[in-house]
Structure 1
Amino acid sequence: MAGAPCLALALALPCLALAQTSPSMTSNSTTAGGGGGLSAAAEVALVVVFGGLGAFGLAGLLVFAACKVREKRRTEGTYRPSSEEQAGARAAPPPPLKLPPEERLI
């Protein structure tokens, strides 16, 4: 299942990008805006929200895949008598059987 790591990476990258602070936010300048960075609670909230959405989406994909596999198993099997009948009709008829030796009285 190669899609799960890609999905996790796609959901984790926006969280990491939002969690990183720019160099201007970490400087000791005293501006009126205070840097404008996200607080620790906001970062945790973003991680929880995106993580929850990612987990919910992954669970939905797994349920969908399981339903498709069950449906395919139900409708397709390995025993197909119609294909065997068709294959038997195309094959040459078997050679006639020999009669057993005649029984004689002593």
Structure 2
Amino acid sequence: MAGAPQLALALALPCLALAQTPPSVTSNSTTNSTTPPGGGGLSPAGVVALTVVLGGLGAFGLVGVLVFLALRLREKRRTEGSYRPSREELGGGRRGPPPGPPLRLPPEERLI
């Protein structure tokens, strides 16, 4: 499978982007603060990476579900038919008026 290294790389790069920490802000003040500067949210690149990874996994899952449903439907059509003889037995055969006058017999074949 030639696409496996590319897929692994495509999934690993966004995760590495999420793991990177933003550069620390240097200041000359002597106060020690335990809260990170800037609110501690994800960077725009991290949001994009997270969106790409989750979107890819969601699309992959959706394709998997669709393939599973298609295979189940195909198997069900193979094993179950639509003809139900019990309907005709309970209903008394054909329903509605007869299709028209009875067919005529073909002309009788005779020897020469």
Smaller-chain TM-score bracket: 0.3 to 0.5
Provide the TM-score with structure 1 as the length reference: 0.44
More helix by proportion, 1 or 2? 1
